[in-house]
């Protein structure tokens, strides 16, 4: 048998398709709330908790818990807050209003990105990666509400997700850092 055919014979067709379609989180272009391109190199080698956030939501108090989580585990964890206005129009502010809200009310020092669509026809590539198994290699999910959390391991692989009701300091999340 031809060596190239022998090599490809060791993979199923679905494995080959999955390997071609899977993309890396680190290849996705993303900007901070200040409009600067996010440099993923600062996040490599750490867990990354990505959370769609909103300032006028029943879960908004989780900003405080996210900041505490970040402060406690910042040697091994980065938190990225992603403002989104798609759930009940609960994030109506512009970049400066969001930044001021986060700083004044919760002392947020973790990364906050530009406002994004996390679902629908204008879904940002970050959330396409987070929600599509063929891109993330893990699982298909849907973003159900504000403060849904996605956990990426230090190798850049999606390993878990948590609905809004899961508090940032829950054992389900913190267990990854112990």
The three-class DSSP label of residue 149 is strand
Backbone angles phi, psi at 23, to 5 degrees: -120, 165
Instruction: Check if 57 is active-site.
Output: yes
For residue 91, what are the contacts with CB-CB under 8 A and spacing of at least 6? 53, 54, 55, 56, 57, 83, 84, 85, 98, 115, 146
CB 35 within 8 A of CB 114: yes
Which one of 57, 69, 158, 173 is the catalytic residue? 57
List residues with catalytic annotation.
57
């Amino acid at each position: 048998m031809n060596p190239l055919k022998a090599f490809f014979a060791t993979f199923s067709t679905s494995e080959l398709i999955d390997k071609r379609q899977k993309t890396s989180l680190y290849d996705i272009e993303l900007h901070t709330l200040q409009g600067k391109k996010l440099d993923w190199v600062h996040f490599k080698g750490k867990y990354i908790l990505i959370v769609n956030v909103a300032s006028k939501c029943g879960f908004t108090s989780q900003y405080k818990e996210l900041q505490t989580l970040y402060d406690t585990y910042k040697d091994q964890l980065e938190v990225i807050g992603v403002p989104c206005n798609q759930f009940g129009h609960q994030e109506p502010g512009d970049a400066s209003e969001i930044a001021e809200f986060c700083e004044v009310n919760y002392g947020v020092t973790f990364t906050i990105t530009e406002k994004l669509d996390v679902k629908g026809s204008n879904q940002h590539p970050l959330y396409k990666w987070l929600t599509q198994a063929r891109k993330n290699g893990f699982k298909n999910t849907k973003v159900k509400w504000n403060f849904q959390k996605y956990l990426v391991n230090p190798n850049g692989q999606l390993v878990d997700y948590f609905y809004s009701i899961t508090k940032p300091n829950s054992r389900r999340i913190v267990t990854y850092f112990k």
